Amino acid sequence: MDYIEVIGFVAAVLTTAAFLPQVYKTWQTKDVSGVSLTMFITMFTGVILWLVYGLFINSLPMLVANTISAILIFTVIVLKIKHHKK
For 18-72, how does the pLDDT look when each residue is reduced to its tens digit (9 = 90+)? 989 999 999 999 999 889 999 999 999 999 999 999 999 998 889 999 999 999 9
Tell me, what amino acid is at 54? G
pLDDT band at 82 (very low <50, low <70, confident <90, very high): very high
Domain that holds residue 67: 3-83
Q: Domain holding 65: CATH number?
A: 1.20.1280.290
Q: Domain tally for the chain? A: 1
Instruction: Give the CA distances from residue 54 to residues 12, 62, 77, in Å, rounded to whole numbers and listed in that order.
Output: 12, 5, 23
What is the model's pTM?
A: 0.85
CB 26 within 8 A of CB 67: no
Task: Count the Cβ atoms, other than its own, within 10 Å of residue 83.
Answer: 15
